[in-house]
Structure 1
Amino acid sequence: MLRIALCDDETKARDALRFQLEKILYEGVESIVYEFNSGKRAASWLAKHPGEIDLLFLDVEMKEQSGMETALEIRKFNRKLMIVFVTGYPDYVFDGYRTGALDYILKPADPERLRELMERIRRMEQEQADAFFAFHNIDGTFKLACRDILYFYSEKRLVHLVTAEKEYTFYDKLDLVAAKVGNDFVRIHQRYLVNASAVEHISASAVTISGIQLPMSRALKEEASKKLARAMLGGAF
């Protein structure tokens, strides 16, 4: 699912862009989920809700804080968010690329230009789909890069996802999670699923990730040890 946000301090401009987008979005898999009327509010909200937005249409010429300033602030904590600048002045376009912007559109948005942009974004999303893990909990919907996930562990009906910065909890089964993340993750225990590339050490009964020892069960030890050893030595599973 592609989750989109709009940021423009002019209500009419936001409405116009939303109207154009809604005509070309794929129903059920693409939606405009948030709108912001200032860059400061957008940056503050995004900092507190990592992974909830995939694409941000960001106006350049805003009064309180410009779109360029907002993008630079967002890049301090999020390098992955796709940003498309919206501007009435093409002179600003080249400045946008230093913030890692995906592209720009001129006001008023040309329907064909917008359609071409969305097609390109869809192709990018499809190419990267296998490299992300998405889940939902009471705080919202998140999509994290698999390379940033250290390990998962289950606790009754809950699954805990652990990264270097944070731990997330959601309802699921570890078997289903393992099927979604693929072979880069190895089951070392009934309750533990680890990112092979994050493993620092393998012992007789545990693996170490970020200085934390995780138990390895006897039943899974032989197969898990082989897979992890090959990954640590740079081989394929």
Structure 2
Amino acid sequence: MLRIALCDDETSARDALRFQLEKILLDGNEEIVYEFNSGKRAVSWLAKHPGEIDLLFLDVEMDEMNGMEAATDIRKFNQDLMIVFVTGYTDYVFDGYKVGALDYIIKPAGAGRVRELMERARSMTADVNDTFFTFQNADGTFKVSCRDILYCYSEKRLVHLVTAQKEYQFYDKLDHVEEALGDGFVRIHQRYLVNSLAVAHVSASSVTLAGTELPISRALRQQASEKLARAMLGGDF
């Protein structure tokens, strides 16, 4: 799914771009999920919601914080977000490559140009060899790369998802999370589910990953140990 955001301090400009996009979005697979009216608000929100947006159309000429400044700040915490600059001038075009911009659109956005950019974004998304886990909590919807997940554990109805950078919490059953994450993750305990590629050491009673030791239950010891051994000896994710 391609999740899109627009950032422009002019309502009419956002409306015009949204109109062009809505004509070509693929139903059920692409949607405009957020709109920002300032670069500062976009940066602040994106920093708190990693992975929730795939493609950002970012106006260059904005007051307080312009689009180039916003993109520079975004790249400090997110290298993967596809950024398309929207500008009324060609002067900024080459500056966009300094922040890894996908491309640019000259205002007003023409239908052909928008379609061309969306095709590029779709192609890049399809080429990424990664899978993601999506979940919701009180702070919004999050999309986390499965490779970044170290382990998950449950406390009653609450699931904790742990990465090297952050720990997330959301309501679900660990059984459902295990099914969604797939074979790369191994259940070692009723309460614990680990990323097999993140495990550094396996003993008779525990596994160690990222400096954390987690227990293996007796009931799951043999099955879990076999799966983890295969993964540590070179099994695929």
TM value normalised by structure 2: 0.91
How has the CA–CA distance of structure 1 residues 236 and 149 changed in structure 2, closer, same or farther, with 3 Å as cutoff? closer
Which residue is 1:134 aligned to? 134
Which residue is 2:3 aligned to? 3
How has the CA–CA distance of structure 1 residues 127 and 179 changed in structure 2, closer, same or farther, with 3 Å as cutoff? farther
- Higher share in helix: 1
C-alpha contact 2:7 2:37 (8 A) present in aligned 1: yes
Which residue is 1:186 aligned to? 186
Which residue is 2:12 aligned to? 12
| 1:28 CA drift (Å) | 4.0
State how far apart, in whole Å, the 1-side matches of 2:154 and 2:125 are: 29
The unaligned stretches of length 5 or more in structure 1 are none
Is the aligned partner of 1:166 residue 2:171?
no
Is the aligned partner of 1:34 residue 2:22?
no
Deviations 1:124-174 (A, max 9, x none): 334448511111111110001111111011222222111122211122222
Which residue is 1:202 aligned to? 202
Deviations 1:186-230 (A, max 9, x none): 111222111112112111111012221111122222222222223
Q: Percent identity?
A: 75
- Partner AA of 1:93 in structure 2: V
Which residue is 1:120 aligned to? 120
Deviates more, 1:170-179 or 1:199-208: 170-179
Which residue is 1:24 aligned to? 24
Deviations 1:90-141 (A, max 9, x none): 3322221221212222211121221222233234334448511111111110
SS of structure 2 residue aligned to 1:13: helix
Deviates more, 1:40-49 or 1:70-79: 40-49
C-alpha contact 2:131 2:146 (8 A) present in aligned 1: yes
- Partner AA of 1:163 in structure 2: T
State how far apart, in whole Å, the 1-side matches of 2:176 and 2:231 are: 22
How do 1:41-80 and structure 2 match up within 5 A?
41-80=41-80
C-alpha contact 1:130 1:181 (8 A) present in aligned 2: no
- Partner AA of 2:23 in structure 1: K
State how far apart, in whole Å, the 2-side matches of 1:104 and 1:175 are: 44
Which residue is 1:104 aligned to? 104
State how far apart, in whole Å, the 1-side matches of 2:128 and 2:180 are: 14
SS of structure 1 residue aligned to 2:214: strand
The unaligned stretches of length 5 or more in structure 2 are none
| 1:53 CA drift (Å) | 2.0
- Partner AA of 1:74 in structure 2: I
SS of structure 1 residue aligned to 2:227: helix
- Partner AA of 1:170 in structure 2: F
State how far apart, in whole Å, the 1-side matches of 2:129 and 2:159 are: 21
SS of structure 2 residue aligned to 1:183: coil
Which residue is 1:223 aligned to? 223
